[in-house]
């Protein structure tokens, strides 16, 4: 068995040392539209792509610049190649965290032109954490934090067709095209 995965577009993607040309937004959008949040434990299907789109719109309504908006859309893009681990597991898997961070940095490098600054990373984390909080509140009736984080835009948690979600993810991406130029 070779040391690569075959992506939706047919790329032989080497996880540990991907070539920039092998990172394709179409593969990311497709894979994330099929991956479920909360490791499949929500009572209804809600995809990682839907979460990422919600993060994008939250950043947009907060008037963050296009780089941060795009980073919010792409913050889970490495999961398209690695899959995901739940936060309680991930925090105990240092090697996974390193591989994920390295791949995520490469994705940001390709589409943003640079890694995120500490400030930009914190903005993305704040949006991601807010979306996570309200997803769990909606789907599970569980408050993950003592204090509810700021969420400016109410989200739609409806079950949606994956092809529709994939198209919307790509539309959000194209809204920010040229960020790295």
Mean pLDDT of 130-139: 97
Is residue 93 pLDDT above 90, yes or no? Answer: no
Domain annotation for the chain: domains and CATH numbers: 5-175 (1.10.3210.10)
pLDDT, the chain, mean: 94
pTM above 0.85, yes or no: yes
Is residue 77 pLDDT above 60, yes or no? Answer: yes
What's residue 92's pLDDT?
A: 87
Is residue 181 pLDDT above 80, yes or no? Answer: no
Is residue 23 pLDDT above 70, yes or no? Answer: yes
Q: What percent of the chain has pLDDT over 70?
A: 98
Give the helix, strand, coil percentages of the chain, each rounded to 5: 55, 5, 40
What's residue 180's pLDDT?
A: 63
Which of 159, 15, 21 shows the shortest CA–CA distance to 79? 15
Q: Which of 71-75, 165-169, 177-181 shows the lowest mean pLDDT across its residues?
A: 177-181
More reliable by pLDDT, 87 or 110: 110
- 6-29 in b/e form (b: 16+ CB < 10 A) is ebeeebebeeeebeeebbbbebbb
pLDDT band at residue 88 using 50, 70 and 90 as cut-offs: confident
Q: What percent of the chain has pLDDT over 90?
A: 83
- Element containing residue 93 per DSSP (H, E): none
Mean pLDDT of 119-146: 97
What's residue 84's pLDDT?
A: 79
What's residue 108's pLDDT?
A: 96
Q: Give the torsion through C-alpha atoms of 15, 52, 116, 7, to 10 deg.
A: 20
What's residue 1's pLDDT?
A: 60
Is residue 36 pLDDT above 60, yes or no? Answer: yes
């Amino acid at each position: 068995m070779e040391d690569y995965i075959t992506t939706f577009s047919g790329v032989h993607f080497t996880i540990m040392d991907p070539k920039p040309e092998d990172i394709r937004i179409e593969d990311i959008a497709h894979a994330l539209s099929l991956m479920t949040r909360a490791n499949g434990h929500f009572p209804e299907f809600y995809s990682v792509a839907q979460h990422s789109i919600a993060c994008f719109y939250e950043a947009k309504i907060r008037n963050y610049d296009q780089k941060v908006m795009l980073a919010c859309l792409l913050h889970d893009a490495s999961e398209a190649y690695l899959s995901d681990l739940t936060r309680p597991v991930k925090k105990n898997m240092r090697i996974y965290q390193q591989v994920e961070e390295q791949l995520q940095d490469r994705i940001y490098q390709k589409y943003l032109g640079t890694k995120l600054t500490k400030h930009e990373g914190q903005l993305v984390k704040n949006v991601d954490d807010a979306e996570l909080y309200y997803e769990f509140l909606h789907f599970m009736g569980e408050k993950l934090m003592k204090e509810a984080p700021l969420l400016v835009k109410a989200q739609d948690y409806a079950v949606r067709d994956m092809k529709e979600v994939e198209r919307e993810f790509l539309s959000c991406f194209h809204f920010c095209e040229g960020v790295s130029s």
